[in-house]
Chains A and B, each alone.
Chain A
């Protein structure tokens, strides 16, 4: 079940049409229920009246197609009971009740809170443990006691604490349902005996989670694990970057009107532009959106020509140059004395950076540049912060390692280390996903070219 996002308009109102689109999309992908006003639904930023409206909209839009588990948790017990009653009157099927937060009770307080809501709320209650937000934990012995109460039918655990959820599954022993709320641990929990999930990423890829569940229940664990691994990065990013913002961004990339988040979550601080780009690539990988076509990397880079394209004239006769390509990374390198034309090109490249082709120092890591002084720039234009992080990340790291290995071998003389500069032009598919592979490919290609430069 998706913990439905609540689309907000620019003005902060609930975008009803957008909300309907999200519900219709998730139902079309086979969800077995929907959960409005959960954590991902930004319930904590909504007043009670808005939450009532949201529940009403859910009932109208779902129109009996799937069950509705309404998020009805509030700070105080009284308010929680009232909202739960309201959901019952609307015809919701169950209530998801977060453990009271900010002013946190201890065990007795949690017990009485849930017992009261179960007794007076008029709906089956699913308890909700999410200590990373509430800062309080529902101890398993409290949960065991609550499981004895009629109308308490389950607990959703979003802690991602595997020993904790295993303890719940073991101690509750099927008495009430243990629902997994930590997307990253989905398969682990299912294998351990969980039969349901309420998750943020199920707004986007419910079909993948349903497949995994089906495979796991059929004993096809390896296939299930493979699918979980495919979804793992996306799941991790959703949880790491604030749930609602990345889920909304993903849905919008798919053409679903998921709207904006509310202040203070809407400013792009939680979900930076580079993470947004990572999400797009993950959605492409999972086949949720069409990948963009990119041209293959150049098979040969003539560094003199590449520098000329940047408006830099160099005297080939002064230079040692080399080039190499391995299909993933292609590179052309020039080395020459500081006092010559390459020294000038070096300064010019740094001081008149071309947009999208900025040259940066070749570094093993920040604060650890290589010698001789070396710059690298991308031939293919960088169009986003994510692409920048790929070029000035794994590509830079691989290139620097290559130079360091030549220093280690003693191929670059002491004098050359201080009197020369190097410039490298590189080409790579800037949408590549596997950064480890790029480090290795960049190192290999740059070593190939360096072997021609520092014979």
Chain B
């Protein structure tokens, strides 16, 4: 086994696959530099401009050059730049690789050619050509979920021996293929994991480091994971992976850079929006955005600060409100009647919540009027017992069986209780305001729902989101108008 790269570059630690902040003129240099500074301060040992998370396919050639230039300048003397220079066509990949070399990149990351699916021979020659065009170490990049071109370990066996090919970034998440690559490679061939959800098993199996979308947000966690692994502390490494598993699942599966940008914006690292056709509310759903936010709250990355609740001439301040940047108003001016809606989950276990919240002596008093009473032809509503916040629960679905009844009045109702309590411990509802408020929650549970755990989780999440949306006035009127044509109601289509 031989490797044909004999240079000095050694990949260490974790590099973020940088998102690319855009403005109307192209790359937003100020925000890009801000992001690079943030990631280095947070522990990144290098950066990758123009990766998949950087939306490289949505950038013009000159914009990619610009992004690589900024990255090289901004990191100068601090950490190396591994520039994404891959392209569907060989000529473009070669051209950008040369530019990256001139600009001072330490290496290049070259994605397998995609869309028009080349044969083994053509893939091989593509990488050979790129490697021959530069003195920089070339890293092969395998991400079949978007390229449609999986790089099998048998192919890596050969690519590895091309002069100048220094390593591989594997974002496939396919641990079978990756493990085979790792056990077959010589030491000098550097392999990085690129799939956030399997960072722990990949690093434990012998990857040299990681290039990750989520390393834009918390590179330090991966550094700590690697340190733990190198010390044989598997337990701690597992704890770290567990702490981020949910948020990285959203990042990886719900839009990549689009989702990472939403997270960065929330924690106060402004990076703007993804380029069309990627947009919030689409592959990254509104529910995902709210979940990213609560995950970041759990990771203590969302700034907390005061939000004033006003009732007539009284005001109460929630001092430690989790103020995800751009999502939370300074004050909630009118507590007469706030209205929120949320759907979460899919299939039979889906949760759909409508809720209203307001001061006790306003229209919300109506909710208490019939609670707990049986009226002919009406879904019975009830006041939930032993809950600090006065809460009325009513189903919006006709109960069809005993099992369905349990799912609604026990499972979903318990989820409401848990979500309300959580909202208070989230420090969203100030405790001194709680006695003055009434909440009414309408829940829909499908008659075919069978998995109580999932019904609970979905309803818990939906209630938590709906309360926040009611208070914070989401989605905005601008959002409603901009989605008027493209919104897709799931039941509005024929079978």
* CB-CB nearest in chain B for A417: B477
Q: Does B432 contact A (CB under 8 A)?
A: no
* CB-CB nearest in chain A for B478: A407
Provided the pairs A269-B348, A364-B480, A407-B477 are in contact, do residues A343 and B362 lie with their beta carbons within 8 angstroms? yes
Q: Does A222 contact B (CB under 8 A)?
A: no
Q: Are B475 and A344 in contact (CB under 8 A)?
A: no
Q: Are B379 and A393 in contact (CB under 8 A)?
A: no
Q: Does B208 contact A (CB under 8 A)?
A: no
A17-25, A139-147, A354-362: which lies at the B interface? Answer: A354-362
Cβ–Cβ < 8 Å partners of A436 in chain B: 492-494
Cβ–Cβ < 8 Å partners of B473 in chain A: 418
B10-18, B89-97, B172-180, B442-450: which lies at the A interface? Answer: B442-450
For window 235-283 of A, CB contacts with B under 8 Å fall at 236-237, 268-269, 272-273, 275, 278
Alpha-carbon separation in the docked complex, A402 to B235 (Å): 56
Alpha-carbon separation in the docked complex, A389 to B448 (Å): 14
Alpha-carbon separation in the docked complex, A434 to B493 (Å): 8
Alpha-carbon separation in the docked complex, A272 to B488 (Å): 22
Q: Does B183 contact A (CB under 8 A)?
A: no
Q: Are B334 and A418 in contact (CB under 8 A)?
A: yes
Partner of B363, one of A343, A396, A400, A404: A343
Q: Are B495 and A368 in contact (CB under 8 A)?
A: no
Q: Does B3 contact A (CB under 8 A)?
A: no
**Which of A355, A369, A385, A404 has most B Cβ within 10 Å?**
A369
Partner of A344, one of B348, B363, B480: B363
Q: Are A366 and B490 in contact (CB under 8 A)?
A: yes
Alpha-carbon separation in the docked complex, A316 to B50 (Å): 61
Provided the pairs A347-B366, A417-B477 are in contact, do residues A434 and B337 lie with their beta carbons within 8 angstroms? no
Partner of B396, one of A233, A269, A275, A358: A358
Cβ of A191 to closest chain B Cβ, rounded Å? 25
Cβ–Cβ < 8 Å partners of B494 in chain A: 233, 433-436
Alpha-carbon separation in the docked complex, A408 to B481 (Å): 6
Q: Are B480 and A371 in contact (CB under 8 A)?
A: yes
Q: Are A355 and B442 in contact (CB under 8 A)?
A: no
Q: Are A343 and B336 in contact (CB under 8 A)?
A: yes
Q: Are A373 and B339 in contact (CB under 8 A)?
A: yes
Q: Are B491 and A363 in contact (CB under 8 A)?
A: no
Q: Does A43 contact B (CB under 8 A)?
A: no
Q: Does A397 contact B (CB under 8 A)?
A: yes
**Which of A237, A272, A365, A418 has most B Cβ within 10 Å?**
A365
Q: Which size class do A's interface residues fall under?
A: 35 or more
Q: Are B490 and A365 in contact (CB under 8 A)?
A: yes
Q: Does B264 contact A (CB under 8 A)?
A: no
Q: Are A368 and B366 in contact (CB under 8 A)?
A: no
Q: Are B378 and A355 in contact (CB under 8 A)?
A: yes
Cβ–Cβ < 8 Å partners of B442 in chain A: 350-351, 353, 360
What 0/1 readout, one digit per residue, does chain B (332-373) give for beta carbons within 8 Å of chain A? 001011011111000010001010101000111111011100
Cβ–Cβ < 8 Å partners of B285 in chain A: 367
* CB-CB nearest in chain A for B484: A404
Cβ–Cβ < 8 Å partners of B479 in chain A: 368
Cβ of B435 to closest chain A Cβ, rounded Å? 19
Q: Are A350 and B394 in contact (CB under 8 A)?
A: yes
Cβ–Cβ < 8 Å partners of B334 in chain A: 338, 418-419
Cβ–Cβ < 8 Å partners of A405 in chain B: 484
Q: Are A404 and B480 in contact (CB under 8 A)?
A: yes
Alpha-carbon separation in the docked complex, A31 to B450 (Å): 40
Q: From DSSP, what is the main secondary structure of chain A's interface residues?
A: helix
Q: Are B484 and A350 in contact (CB under 8 A)?
A: no
Alpha-carbon separation in the docked complex, A197 to B341 (Å): 49
Q: Does A439 contact B (CB under 8 A)?
A: yes
Alpha-carbon separation in the docked complex, A234 to B407 (Å): 32
Q: Are B342 and A367 in contact (CB under 8 A)?
A: yes
Q: Does A390 contact B (CB under 8 A)?
A: yes
Cβ of A170 to closest chain B Cβ, rounded Å? 24
Cβ of A18 to closest chain B Cβ, rounded Å? 25
Cβ–Cβ < 8 Å partners of A355 in chain B: 377-379, 398
Cβ of A268 to closest chain B Cβ, rounded Å? 6
Cβ–Cβ < 8 Å partners of A404 in chain B: 480-481, 483-484
Q: Does A370 contact B (CB under 8 A)?
A: yes
Cβ–Cβ < 8 Å partners of A348 in chain B: 366-367, 369-370
Q: Does A132 contact B (CB under 8 A)?
A: no
Q: Does A339 contact B (CB under 8 A)?
A: yes
Cβ of B223 to closest chain A Cβ, rounded Å? 35
For window 372-392 of A, CB contacts with B under 8 Å fall at 373, 385, 389-390, 392
Q: Are B343 and A352 in contact (CB under 8 A)?
A: no
Q: Are B484 and A401 in contact (CB under 8 A)?
A: yes
Q: Does B144 contact A (CB under 8 A)?
A: no
Alpha-carbon separation in the docked complex, A143 to B213 (Å): 47
* CB-CB nearest in chain B for A370: B480
Cβ–Cβ < 8 Å partners of B130 in chain A: none
Q: Does A346 contact B (CB under 8 A)?
A: yes
* CB-CB nearest in chain A for B442: A350
Partner of B378, one of A273, A346, A354, A366: A354
Q: Are B337 and A373 in contact (CB under 8 A)?
A: yes
Q: Does B375 contact A (CB under 8 A)?
A: yes
What 0/1 readout, one digit per residue, does chain A (267-310) give for beta carbons within 8 Å of chain B? 01100110100100000000000000000000000000000000
Given contacts A272-B448, A343-B363, 13 further A-B contacts (CB under 8 A): A268-B448, A347-B356, A348-B366, A348-B369, A351-B370, A351-B394, A353-B379, A366-B352, A393-B491, A397-B492, A404-B481, A433-B494, A436-B493
Q: List 26 A-B contacts (CB under 8 A).
A: A339-B362, A343-B336, A344-B366, A350-B394, A350-B442, A351-B371, A352-B381, A353-B378, A355-B398, A358-B396, A358-B397, A367-B285, A368-B286, A368-B483, A370-B480, A373-B337, A393-B491, A393-B492, A398-B492, A401-B487, A407-B477, A408-B481, A417-B477, A421-B339, A435-B493, A439-B492
Q: Which residues of B contact A (CB under 8 A)?
A: 281, 285-287, 334, 336-337, 339-343, 348, 352, 354, 356, 358, 362-367, 369-371, 375, 377-379, 381, 392, 394-398, 440, 442, 446-448, 450, 465, 473, 475, 477, 479-481, 483-484, 487-495
